[in-house]
Homo-oligomer: A and B are copies of this chain.
Amino acid sequence: MSTTALFKHIQAQKSYLCVGLDIDLDKVPQHLLKAEDPIFEFAKAIIDATAPYAVAFKPNLAFFETYGVSGWQALEKTIRYIKTNYPKHFAIADAKRGDIGNTATRYAKAFFEQMNFDAVTIAPYMGRDAVEPFLAFDGKYGILLALTSNPGAADFQKKTLDGKPLFTKVLATASSWDNAHNLMYVVGATQAEALHQIRAIVPNAFLLVPGVGAQGGDLNHVFAQGHNAQCGLLVNASRSIIYAGSDEQFASAAAQQAVQLQQQMEVHLTENNLL
């Protein structure tokens, strides 16, 4: 998918919402546990309920891997379900992989070819040759961790490296790598004060912004500081949407949370002449 197509989809949906699928069997409605594949049943219901208000889905790999082979089967069914039923929705494998050359290529093939994800989140610590292999696939994206939403972002990302915060060094350095047009960046919504600084370094890239909702980031602030001429934002909410309800009405409860975010987003897009 091109970023032009992604922006058109944002315009059509009047939304830049990404729904995070962090599916925890301890939290899904009890009645689903009787299903043959409760992870997939839950995913399918959430996807169908929220798809009208979203432009992207983001399965979190940890929550699938923790169930071993059956979790991986649920993941493959989930990505197939998304791409069959909502082919214009952008599918992100939140995997935070990062390894060198030939190993990175294997991860890229797992997510882009073996499954049909549009993007995978990746970690920058190992540098150029751990990232470029993910960028060699046309219409596929590596979403590089830049400034994350958690307290641990202060341990290294915000520390001063060669006179500037490490996360700005990551953004500036990665921008010079081969196929950098296939890069997007993770910037936590709780870090909105840094968005202006980030946009100065990567004006055109899409930013994946987690941390709205359960983690407390402010959507208005994120949009004001972070958008660009193609919107340039995918704002993710996971727990606040998918666990909004805990009974048989969980899917409509999720839809209600999603539509609230979508309505705020529609205002942002309208006010800034992006529709």
Q: Which segment of A1-9, A95-103, A196-204 sits at the interface?
A: A95-103
- Bound CA span A170–B125, Å: 11
The size bracket of the interface on A is 35 or more
* A99 closest partner in B (C-beta): B96
Structural contact, B100 and A123, CB atoms closer than 8 A: no
Structural contact, B126 and A62, CB atoms closer than 8 A: no
Residues of B within 8 A of A151 (CB): 127-129
Contact A114/B68 with A22-B103, A96-B97, A96-B123 known, Cβ cut-off 8 Å: yes
Minimum C-beta distance from A22 to chain B (A): 7
Q: Is A104 an interface residue (CB 8 A)?
A: yes
Q: Is A63 an interface residue (CB 8 A)?
A: yes
Structural contact, B63 and A103, CB atoms closer than 8 A: yes
Structural contact, A114 and B152, CB atoms closer than 8 A: no
- Bound CA span A170–B76, Å: 35
Q: Is A12 an interface residue (CB 8 A)?
A: no
Minimum C-beta distance from A173 to chain B (A): 6
Residue in B94, B106, B157 whose CB lies within 8 Å of A66? B106
Residue in B68, B76, B99 whose CB lies within 8 Å of A76? B68
20 more CB-based (< 8 A) A-B contacts, given A124-B155, A127-B157 = A22-B103, A62-B103, A62-B104, A62-B110, A63-B103, A65-B110, A65-B114, A66-B110, A68-B114, A98-B123, A126-B150, A127-B151, A127-B153, A127-B155, A127-B156, A128-B152, A128-B155, A156-B170, A156-B173, A160-B161
